[in-house]
Amino acid sequence: MRFWYHGWIEKLYILPTFHFKYLGFGWVTIPGDWTYALFVVCALSALCVALGLQYRLAIITFFLSFTYIELLDKTTYLNHYYFISVLSFVLIWLPMHCYFSLDAQQSKKISARYVPQWTVDVLKVLIAIVYIYAGLAKINSDWLLRAMPLSIWLPTKFDVPFLGSLMHEPWMHYLFSWGGMLYDLGIVFLLLFKRTRLWGFALVVLFHLMTRVLFPIGMFPYVMIISSLIFFEPSFHRTILEKFRALFLSNNRPEENNTLYSFTTPLQKMARPMITILIILQIIIPWRYLIYPGNIFWTEEGYRFSWRVMLMEKTGYAQFKIVDGKSEKSFYVQNENFLTAFQQKQMSTQPDFILEYAHYLGDHFSSQGHQNVEVYVDSYAAINGRPSQRFVDPAVNLMTVHRGIAHKDFILPLDE
């Protein structure tokens, strides 16, 4: 809904003539104006999930439509969208609809009062993975020793009430950096134990509201605040639901099944193994950057899908040169003829984007009649306040480099 309101559906998905695709998902296409329909489907299925109406169908639809939207363009990748995709996949297998839902009201078969402990624990594990990996990612010299990138971001937040006048002070930058790291690593433990749970939740609210005020991160803070409620015990949730029922619904409770939900059908029994596999993947995937040489902030190989949230300030500039191998004529490309401002911003700092765009340009100009097209890029990037440096080797003809998961050796090493 936010996307519609801000006009982002048109700006991000319909207007651009070219979209960056995830590896293996090149077949995903923008359905033009039907993209609006896609968003409607997504919103409706989310509503059904919330109401607990036709839950299984709704959550599957939501997962597919939401993930499809995210697959449309790599440019809009955000960690919290990835989180929603993962979460909604897990929810497909969980019995979310057996209590306080329209489905349970209608069907005694579905209704149950109890669910196996592991179904709740699984969600806690997912959240723990996000926080702990985010915290681990913050253990790096830029974040802790140089207070970067907060030293760049905070000084322009002078309008924030109470704290605004302190935002240019270096000690504030260190306070926020270390505080953020410690919060990420420790918050799950505070939430797990009853004695510290309320303090933990207060911290959750404080932390996420502050980040909401400081940074343009959309729904992320609210998603995290609400999902941290999963750590509270069942009686807490039951109390909330009862209050809700008393306030908004008529007070006649449907006859409740005092049973434990059980996974009976073969498909339902696949829940545990599927979720186990997913959790194993979630734990392993963030470590894949170790396979690649070079500084992960610079090469960005293995950067996505690993909860590296708001971790660096990277700015780049990329000018592409097209050489007609036959006539030896060359010219530079004006990127705004092909990419939106947002795409240019993402492209200039991420080598996989640069490579994909280079191929796109090469194919485009070949189709225009140029022969033996070679594509070179004059590209620079600056990271966390360091001086700008050459990013990609200008002598490499990017048309000869293939897209894939192999290391990109056309990236020049970072001069730290």
Partner 1 sequence: MTHRFSICCFLLVVCAFFACDKNSDGPMAPVEAFDREALLTDWADEMIVPSLEAYLTSMGNHHDAQVLFFNSPDATSLGHLRSTWLEAYKSWQRVAMYDIGRAEEMGLRNATNIYPTDTDLIKQNVSTQNYKLALPSNNDAQGFPALDFLYFGLADTDEDLIGILSSPEYQSYSMDLVDRMQLLTTGVLNDWNTSFRDDFIANSGASATASVDKMVNDFLFYYEKFLRAGKIGIPAGVFSGSPLGSTVEAPFSGVHSKELFLASFQAVQDFFEGVGFDGVRREVSLLSYIASTSGQDDTRDLGQEITAQWSKAEEAVSLLSDNFKAQVETDNTLMLNAYDELQKAIILLKVDMMQTLNIQVDYVDADGD
List residues near partner 1 by CB under 8 A.
6, 8, 11-12, 76, 78-81, 151-153, 155-159, 162, 165, 167-170, 173, 215-220, 309-310, 313, 315-317, 319, 324, 329-334, 341-342, 344-345, 380-382, 385, 387-388
Shorter beta-carbon distance to partner 1: residue 299 or 344: 344
Give the H/E segment covering residue 391. Answer: strand 389-392
Residue closer to partner 1 by CB (options 94, 296) is 296
Shortest Å distance, C-beta 382 to partner 1: 5
User: Do 370 and 322 meet the contact criterion of CB atoms below 8 Å apart?
Assistant: yes
- Least separation in angstroms between residue 284's CB and partner 1 is 22
Please answer whether residues 355 and 398 qualify as being in contact, where contact means their C-beta atoms are separated by less than 8 angstroms: yes
Shortest distance, position 260 Cβ to partner 1, whole Å: 39
CB of 128 to partner 1, least distance (A): 19
Q: What is the DSSP string of 244-263?
A: HHHHHS-S-PPPPP--B---
Q: Which is nearer to partner 1, 169 or 363 (CB)?
A: 169
- Give the CA dihedral 53, 55, 57, 62, nearest 10 degrees: 100
Could you give the 3-state DSSP secondary structure of residue 155? helix
Q: CB of 75: closest distance to partner 1 in angstroms? A: 9
Q: How far apart are CA 62 and CA 96, in angstroms?
A: 14
Sequence-distant (≥ 6) Cβ neighbours of residue 397 within 8 angstroms:
374, 375, 376
Nearest distance from C-beta of residue 404 to partner 1, angstroms: 25
Smaller CB distance to partner 1: residue 116 or 155? Answer: 155
Measure the CA angle with vertex 297, ends 150 and 22; round to 5°. 115
* CB closer to partner 1 out of 247 and 395: 395
Nearer to partner 1, 219 or 285 (CB): 219
Q: Which two tokens stand for residue 395?
A: 């002598």
Is the CB of 106 or the CB of 340 nearer to partner 1?
340
What is the Rg, in whole angstroms, of the alpha carbon atoms belonging to the chain?
Answer: 24
Can you point out the beta strands (E) in 25-66? none
Closest distance of CB 307 from partner 1, Å: 10
Whole-angstrom Cα distance, residue 337 to residue 332? 12
**In the complex, least distance from residue 243 CB atom to partner 1, rounded to whole angstroms:** 32
CB-nearer residue toward partner 1: 35 or 151: 151
Distance, CA of 176 to CA of 376 (rounded, Å): 41
* Contact between residue 82 and residue 305 where contact means Cβ atoms under 8 Å apart: yes
Cβ 25 to partner 1 shortest distance, Å? 20
Q: Are 91 and 59 in contact (CB under 8 A)?
A: yes
Compute the distance between CA of residue 396 and CA of residue 377 in angstroms, rounded to an integer: 8
Q: Which is nearer to partner 1, 323 or 398 (CB)?
A: 323
Token representation of residue 146: 């140089």
